[in-house]
Chain A
Amino acid sequence: MSILGTRVLRTEDPRLLTHGGIYVDDLREPELAGAARVTFVRSPVAHAEITGIDTEAALAAPGVVAVLTVKDLDDLPPPPPPPAEGEAAANEGAPLPLGGVWSEPLFAVDRVRYVGEPVAMVITDDSYQGEDAAELVSVDYEQLPPVVGIGVALDSEQLLFPGTTSNVAVNHPLAASTADFDGCDVVVEQTIVNQRLAPMPMEGRAAAARWADGKLTFWVSTQNAQISRFILAGALGLDPAAIRVIAPDVGGGFGAKVGIDRDALMVAWAAKHTGRALRWAETRSENLTGMTHGRDQLQVVKIGGTRDGQILAYHQDVVQDTGAYPRMSGFLPTLTNLMAAGSYDFPNVQAGYRVVVTNTTPISAYRGAGRPEATAAVERAVDLFATEIGMDPAEVRRKNLIPKDKFPFTTKTGAIYDSGDHVAVLDKVLEAAGYWELRAEQARRRERREVLQLGLGLATYVEITAADAAGGETARLVVHGDGTATAYTGSSAHGQGHHTAWAMLVEAELGIPMEKVTVIHGDTDLIPFGVGTYGSRSLQLGGTAVHLAAVDVKEQARRVAAELLEASEDDLELDTDSGGWQVRGDPATRRSWAEVAGHAGAAGITAETNFTEGHPTFPFGTHLAVVEVDTETGKVRLIRHITADDAGTVLNPLLVEGQRHGGIAQGAAQALLEEVVYDADGNPLTATLVDYAAITAAELPSFELVKSETPTDANPLGAKGIGEAGTIGATPAVQNAVVDALSHLGVRHVDMPATPSRVWAAISEARKQGEGE
């Protein structure tokens, strides 16, 4: 029996459980012996001109090796030529990062644009000295009016970037005709805030660097070593061959560790500039202001249909706050637009977006990256429509979901959904949850006017994984003369379990037991080409690449075994149970992998692949959240969460369930607790874990997972991505549940996070309005 599809415990665990992982700050490589510590001096103000930097006192402090500022950046390649007149306008609509007038420097040059922006760097013998010395760097700021919040960015005359005419960096607003809504009995419009979040991996950003003999060795906590090398080569003006990037164990990423950012680039530059080996590991407060944030969209949705539940039109208009510099979030709302209508077959769909800059931390990918925003908007809209026509939200969904016989399905916004059965997953979840019994219980509590009201929230979602399918992923598989194998992957694990999954793929194809398969990732000297892990792409691209490399190795081995056994290739078979080659049906002739690979030569048998998918894949599912809301205090408790998440064929249920659990928790966290908050001056109010309400075990129930597997034809494994399904489905399900619990009181919408104060205010407002009528 194949090992694929079975619950295999992780090979990564014993090491992580008994000695801990080796994260960047744990490295004890001899090359880093005596490494000095980097501490950044960061802007304490949101928007200001820098009029002077005095480093004298810091330089005199104990343990200080160097204090570096923008003036020291004299050994970098020249910046691109200044944009010609009118180029800012031409830039609009360009992909990320926007460059030109919107360019992001390394050190702040003459202006700071968010609290936490790097202004100077202190290098000391140890980290305590670094914190002391950083305090002594004196920076003069002349404050400028802060631009904080989307409304201010759109209205203010204060511009973040000289040479621009507005704070709108990309401008493709919805320009839809209202004729779409002709024939609708009911039209509902709603403004929705999809709030700003902190990705908050448990390990913050960290890097170590050493420059020696004309080569940079750079250890970094990243989701992609190869992309990091590419970025480094460009920024430092180095030949990629002169850079080795190593991603050791990485303590979570969630999209915020895609590539490397300016802070890490500066660590690499400083190691070369000073000749000292350097280490940097940010504090949590730095992490909560310096690492990119996620989400932060203002959405206006409009939905219309007939009273019998048929939805005829849906419009989505998005403004993305990209923070101080347009990094990936110049692009993210295109995914929000692309996935606008989600899992529904609406006849008329239109979407548009704008991107604005503000004096806040830059926004980038966070678990879902543009798609949770689309799902949150449309799932809220469908519930608003259902409430307006007085129909159960499950029934409205069933009437409007894309029917199974329409796949592959081309959406009005141009996505091609490969496979799906959206009605089936809805029905599975309704049944597993006992949906109609819960509705009856809800009715009883309403009847009795109980303090604890019950809310049911549905989200039927579809999402896009491996959106950059054509980018592909690399693998190299070597079967050695001792019968062991090594798989080199361009994919980059940071908790997902690649080492287990990739070894399972090798065992399944070649019969080499998992414990004899070593998986190596994240070292550009060993794997010069690769893309990495993000966008739920790893198994379908990186896993398939390993699988195809194993298929290739098998065909090569067949030729070698034929020679060894003096038999025809056609007469040979590989017994994957024993891992041996033999003449078909004749175990007496069996030759082990060690014998076959040994016969092939000293290097064993090697295959290299670069697998690209013909199209992205579209996982789908249904989430149902059940909440209790205390109508006197506004406190919400998530008491059950039931999901069916269909990501195609499952390789290892254990790993898939883990991905689902983690995503559900982060989704519920957005709906109920987490929010990055700034005051009007751009001061972050959530810069520690005391203030940022990261969700804990005490605030969550155990989750109820329902199985569903609909294979895709995009890759031979039949696999789609599962990493982001949880945040995409859970966020609107929990939010809808909160509103549902209060709908009988007249509440129609509560923005996220549904904190007690916000829920209490919504109840009070609804009661006031009710009394007024």
Chain B
Amino acid sequence: MKVSVSVNGSPVVAEVPDRTLLVHFLRETADLTATNVGCDTSSCGACTVLLDGKSVKSCTVLAAQADGSEVTTVEGLGGADGMHPVQRAFHTEHGLQCGFCTPGMVMAAVSLLAENPSPTEEDVRSGLEGNLCRCTGYHNIVRAVLAAARDGASQ
């Protein structure tokens, strides 16, 4: 079927098999490979993107379901002038190591702060429960999200 999605502000229109998952549409059709696939059960969150502003696990959304929508991936977060405050906080707080979970984790954090601009540590920890990281022990990810909140990342 023909699917038309605005990805990071640019239209991507393509004929794809009906069963194409959004994550594969982003990786193969739009050729944006930052968004990773980390599991096959919607458990790990590596594929998290914003769909019309809200975080979704793009391995559990059909490209067809995103037809006519706006998708933001980590590539589109910072804009031309560099990093989004959440990305910057991940850098300054050492919130990433191997980097594989990072694009999904950053997008989940952006979504979390949009819903709750001043979270407590517990809010951050429960808010990121659906995103697995195997390297950082989450310690610096949590610090990064709290630091981004202090810097007004949600504005």
A interface residues with partner B (beta carbon < 8 Å): 9-10, 12-14, 16-23, 25-26, 28, 128, 200-203, 249-252, 254, 281, 283-285, 494-497, 654-655, 657-658, 661-666, 688-690, 694, 696-698, 700, 702-703, 726
Contact = CB atoms under 8 A, between A and B. Distances in A.
B102 A16 contact: yes
A252 B36 contact: no
B94 A689 contact: no
The B interface is mostly helix, strand or loop, or mixed, namely: loop
A300 to B, nearest CB: 32
Contacts of A283: 40
A28 B139 CA distance: 33
B44 A689 contact: yes
The residue in A251, A284, A655, A700 that gathers the most chain B C-beta atoms within 10 A of its C-beta is A251
A697 B140 contact: no
B126 interface: yes
B10 interface: no
The A interface is mostly helix, strand or loop, or mixed, namely: loop
Given A658-B140, A698-B128, 10 more contacts: A12-B99, A14-B83, A17-B90, A18-B75, A21-B98, A203-B36, A252-B100, A284-B41, A665-B139, A703-B139
Interface string B133-151: 1111111111100000000
A662 B136 contact: yes
B35 A20 contact: yes
Interface in B116-144: 121, 124-126, 128-143
B75 to A, nearest CB: 6
Contacts of B87: 17-18
Contacts of A250: 98
B96 interface: yes
Nearest to B98: A495
Contacts of B140: 657-658, 661
A299 to B, nearest CB: 26
A203 B103 CA distance: 13
A568 B132 CA distance: 59
Nearest to A652: B94
B19 to A, nearest CB: 7
Contacts of A12: 99
Nearest to B103: A20
Given A18-B74, A658-B135, A202 B91 contact: no
A658 B137 CA distance: 8
B43 A689 contact: yes
B90 A13 contact: yes
Contacts, number: 179
Interface residues of B, number: 57
Complex A-B, nearest 6 residue pairs according to Cβ-Cβ distance, in ascending order? A20-B34, A251-B100, A495-B98, A665-B137, A689-B43, A16-B99
Given A284-B38, A285-B40, A694-B132, A661 B99 contact: no
Given A19-B34, A26-B33, A496-B97, A665 B138 contact: yes
B106 interface: yes
Contact of A17 (B38, B40, B96, B100): B96
Contacts of B43: 284, 688-690, 694
Interface in B71-104: 74-75, 77-78, 82-83, 87, 90-92, 94, 96-103
A28 B36 CA distance: 15
A697 B91 contact: no
A10 B94 contact: yes
Contacts of B14: none
17 contacts: A13-B91, A17-B90, A17-B91, A17-B96, A17-B106, A20-B33, A20-B75, A28-B33, A201-B98, A252-B98, A663-B137, A664-B137, A665-B137, A689-B43, A689-B132, A697-B138, A700-B125
